[in-house]
Structure 1
Amino acid sequence: MVAYIFCLTTSGGVPVFARSKNGLKQLPFPVIGSLNGVHMFARSHDVELLSTVTDDSKILWKSFHDSLTLIVVSEDDNADDCHLGNVLSHVFDSMVMLLGFDDVTNIKNVERFKKDVRVCFPLIDKFVEDQSLLTFGDLVNAVDVIAAAENAVLQNFLDAFAECADSPYGCLLIHGKIAVATRKWWNLTSRELVLISLLVSSLTSCSSRDIPVFLPDGSPSVPHRLMTFQLTKFIDVCVLCGPKPSLNELEEEVGRFWRTSYESLRAALQNHPCNIPSSFNLDSNILGFIVVNIETNRCLCSVYSSSTTNGDESLDCHERRHILRSYYKHVVGNYFASKVEGSEKIPSSFTHSAMDTYMTTDTYKCYAMLSPPHQIYILYSTDIPTFAMRSITEKTLMILTKDKSTQL
């Protein structure tokens, strides 16, 4: 769990910002200066300082384009360093998305940049504060999706609206997760998909907005216009546009295109918070799951499985989410490679490539399986026999990926 993130200029070590988890005291500047000084001292002697651990914490440094150095302080959960490195990459990409690559990598006036970067804080804080119980995209580098039987109908509404906006890029978000998107939207890179969804959810709720955004991979120096429109509470439609149309022009079209979709939207919203239709018959021992398609950059997850309604409250949903995230970080980088940069460096001492792994404790069991292009991580209750976890995991993966509504 991230406690602090610090940003300083790489050349001079000038502090740019510091973000911390709510409830934690700000670290004094001499401590921050010392953390950066150790890194700068190492660089001056041609040594790259990557990370270190204390009795209960881990510190990781990462420099970007000889412009900014980011430092993260976290509890030491014995996970591979790639996960904290992933957090810092998200933070840097957040600045690129809202300020542009040129302004972030070529800082001419530090004091002005310190003021400009404040616009990024709501998005950056998404990687510091506890995320919603319902999303894992920031962790797995794949955008969260929500499965609904109405998705096929909603796809037609979205395609028509995107065509009206003269844009091939459009998506429909339900509680910050993609229900449907245009083909071009799915062609965005994994970090662009994740960041845009998190950006929308980080902003104050409003009926419509028009925000200039840079795509870290596709267009880091030339901004697009991200326009969002709230169709109902918790449901937004988003399009990426050029100079035209204006926000006012498109606002007038929202009602015409989406009015008749209200019943479908309301029905799709009912799949929250499970993220899957009630018709999916999953094993009652499943307490939560993460399914990732590493080719399409999509993630389907839930900690509100069917067993929640069957009276099994041995682990509440906060605990389930924490266990699943911890298990993912334990597996990826140590046994599995995934979308997380650096996770492909599996320890060379292994004589084979693992395809399955599991863990049992007194209060829960976990199972992970590779079935390219999918990866699945499941949290089970202790009632499930250990020998049965593999077959049930296979069956669950088939249920979740074969249905068209999951888009996996």
Structure 2
Amino acid sequence: MFANSHDVQLVSTVTDDSKIVWKSFYDSVTLIAVAEDDHADDCHMMNFIGYVLSIMVLLLGREDVKAIKNVERFKKDVRVCFPMIDRLIERCDLLTFGDTVNAVDTIASSENTVLQSFLDAFADCAASPYGCLMVHGKVAVATRKWWSLTSEELVLLSMLVSSLTQCSSRDIPVFLPNLSPEVPHRLMTFQLTRNVEVCVLCGPSPGLTELEEEVGRFWRASYDLLRSILLVHPTNFSISSTLDTSLLGFVLVNTETNRCLCSIFPHGNDDDPLEEHERRHILRSYYKHVVGNFFSSKVEGSGKGPSEFTHVAMDTYLTTDTHKCYAMLSPPHQIYALYKPSIPTFAMRSITEKTLFALIKDKGVQL
């Protein structure tokens, strides 16, 4: 308030161990985020704030956020957003990176090609060009129109489905923040088996009950395929190539298609002393350390980079006593890899490059 009264824009501040950022939207809402200072670029906290606003638009509509007529009523209405916002805050406990990298999490399996035909047929029955199949909160296959949504919309829809209590079917009105922020669509979801859901975006018709009756007819024959793709979790991919045994995890992002593939168990469950939550935390922290400081990405504001650089960095690495990390740009792909500390530092570049090409060249991985 002091800065505004003196015609100065103050966007963030830090204490000894914390960072505070804030931003106003539509002259109606000011969002303030307080977090531990991780010394990452401010673009990541701003990205978080942007997602909080988009969650409100997704569930309430832009007009209700833009023109708040009754503050007390808005406080009650906005509670519907809390489960998604909680999921955003608690993301360190989840094996998803979509909101961090601004690309939707995917799961890659050799069954995806066949499942695509099942999905296309079901979407046609629902009279919708927008459909996707989600496995453990990650997109396995989707229609062409679903992939045409913005990265933010893709992430938000996956986050919404994952944040809800599992049930056999749902019919939820949603406002797409970029495509349709003022006119709602109907997001209908149907549970095919545990942790597998098919989602379609529809207009006024068909009805939920009408479509429920068609689910069995279209998906019954795919049951064995769905059981197979469930076995891919938590590795999240199945490829014919063998990855280096020093690899503990990775995040692979395609900045053109807005998709990412992540794994903290690239060889299945192992007995490495770095536990699951530590691997997640290290990969997420390393991404935030690199993007905005060395690399740019889909995260808005990450493209400015440090002013002292006169070149575009294509590789960077980090070594510690407990692990090593390597990041590589190969447009449109970016890979962030986590290794055991025993890997020779000079070998990380070639191994990361081999890992990247093994993943993107495999027919089962459609990034």
TM range (shorter): over 0.9
Residues in 2 aligned to 1:48 and 1:234: alpha-carbon distance in whole angstroms: 46
Residues in 1 aligned to 2:331 and 2:308: alpha-carbon distance in whole angstroms: 23
Residues in 2 aligned to 1:246 and 1:83: alpha-carbon distance in whole angstroms: 40
Tell me if structure 2 keeps the 8 A contact 1:287–1:307.
no
Residues in 2 aligned to 1:255 and 1:74: alpha-carbon distance in whole angstroms: 46
Alignment: residue pair count? 367
Shift of 1:399: 1.0
TM-superposition CA deviations, 1:285-316 (whole Å, max 9, x none): 0000000000000000011121743x4x2201
Provide the residue aligned with 1:168 in structure 2. Answer: 129
- 2:309 aligned with 1:350: yes
2:319 pairs, out of 340, 360, 369, with: 360
Provide the residue aligned with 2:232 in structure 1. Answer: 271
Provide the residue aligned with 1:31 in structure 2. Answer: none
Residues in 2 aligned to 1:159 and 1:131: alpha-carbon distance in whole angstroms: 34
Q: Secondary structure of the equivalent of 2:113?
A: helix
Q: Superposition pairs for residues 7-26 of structure 1, below 5 Å?
A: none
Q: Secondary structure of the equivalent of 2:173?
A: strand
Provide the residue aligned with 1:65 in structure 2. Answer: 26
Provide the residue aligned with 2:256 in structure 1. Answer: 295
1:334 pairs, out of 267, 273, 293, with: 293
Provide the residue aligned with 1:54 in structure 2. Answer: 15
Q: Secondary structure of the equivalent of 2:309?
A: coil
Shift of 1:244: 0.5
1:319 pairs, out of 267, 273, 278, with: 278
Aligned CA distance change for structure 1 residues 238 and 289 (closer, same or farther; 3 Å): same
Provide the residue aligned with 2:243 in structure 1. Answer: 282
Tell me if structure 1 keeps the 8 A contact 2:239–2:359.
no
Q: For structure 2, which runs of at least 5 residues remain unmatched after alignment?
A: none
Farther-moved stretch of structure 1 (342-351 vs 161-170):
342-351
Residues in 2 aligned to 1:239 and 1:73: alpha-carbon distance in whole angstroms: 36
Q: For structure 1, which runs of at least 5 residues remain unmatched after alignment?
A: 1-39
**Identity %, equivalent residues:** 72
Aligned CA distance change for structure 1 residues 214 and 187 (closer, same or farther; 3 Å): same
Q: Superposition pairs for residues 74-153 of structure 1, below 5 Å?
A: 74-153=35-114
Residues in 1 aligned to 2:119 and 2:157: alpha-carbon distance in whole angstroms: 17
Q: Secondary structure of the equivalent of 1:344?
A: coil
- TM-score normalised by L of structure 2: 0.98
Structure 1 vs Structure 2 CA RMSD? 1.0
Residues in 1 aligned to 2:318 and 2:92: alpha-carbon distance in whole angstroms: 25
Q: Secondary structure of the equivalent of 2:40?
A: coil
1:240 pairs, out of 180, 191, 201, with: 201
TM-superposition CA deviations, 1:313-355 (whole Å, max 9, x none): 2201110110000100000000000000100011111111100
Provide the residue aligned with 2:331 in structure 1. Answer: 372
- TM-score normalised by L of structure 1: 0.89
Q: Which amino acid aligns with 2:178?
A: D
TM-superposition CA deviations, 1:234-291 (whole Å, max 9, x none): 0000000000000000000000000000000000110000101164411100000000
Q: Which of 1 and 2 has higher RCO (CA within 8 Å, sep 6+)?
A: 2
